[in-house]
Amino acid sequence: MQKRILVRNSPIHGKGVFAQVDISPGQRVAQYRGVVKSSEDAEADDLHGIDSGHTFLFSLNDQFLLDATRSRCAAKWFNHSCQPNCESVLYEHDSDDRSLDRIMFHAIRPIAPGDELTLSYGICLPVRHTKRMQALWACRCGADTCSGTMLAPR
């Protein structure tokens, strides 16, 4: 059986995830996997920090984050785009334990083999979005509507 996605070098940045087959809108593409951490613990443990312009932390919900720094999941290599072809979808667990929630990436438009799979990160930092921060978190997607940053608008 052919793999649906492949991690390889990306023209956007570093590694990226690419479709190996046609993917339809609404189709689940990947699950973001990592160590579940409280928001406080994840930010304290973040190996890269705000000043790096790089992170493998992904918000799971208002209590927890997923830290994929040491994970082997392909989803951690999805790059940012201002015109993404995928979105993150929260799957809430039936129990009251919010650490059991999951994040899946779904296609939001048709994706052809060879296309890079991308998300809109919309990163929220607990600091002012100065020109320096916008430069550190610069977007390299190349879209006509590129905002120039991966940071969420304020």
Range of the domain at 80: 5-136
Count of domains forming the chain: 1
> What's the pTM value of the predicted model, to 2 decimals?
0.85
Write down the mean pLDDT value for the chain: 86
Q: What are phi and psi of 143, to 5 degrees?
A: -70, 150
The answer to whether position 143 is within a domain reads: no
- Between 133 and 28, the higher pLDDT residue: 28
Q: Please report where in the chains the tokens 């930010």 appear, as a residue.
A: 43
The answer to whether position 146 is within a domain reads: no
Q: Give the mean model confidence (pLDDT) for residues 6-28.
A: 96
| 3-state DSSP assignment of residue 138 | strand
The answer to whether position 37 is within a domain reads: yes
Report, in this order, helix, strand and coil percent for the chain, each rounded to 5: 15, 30, 55
Query: What is d(CA 78, CA 60) in angstroms, rounded to the nearest whole number?
Result: 16
Q: Give the mean model confidence (pLDDT) for residues 128-139.
A: 80
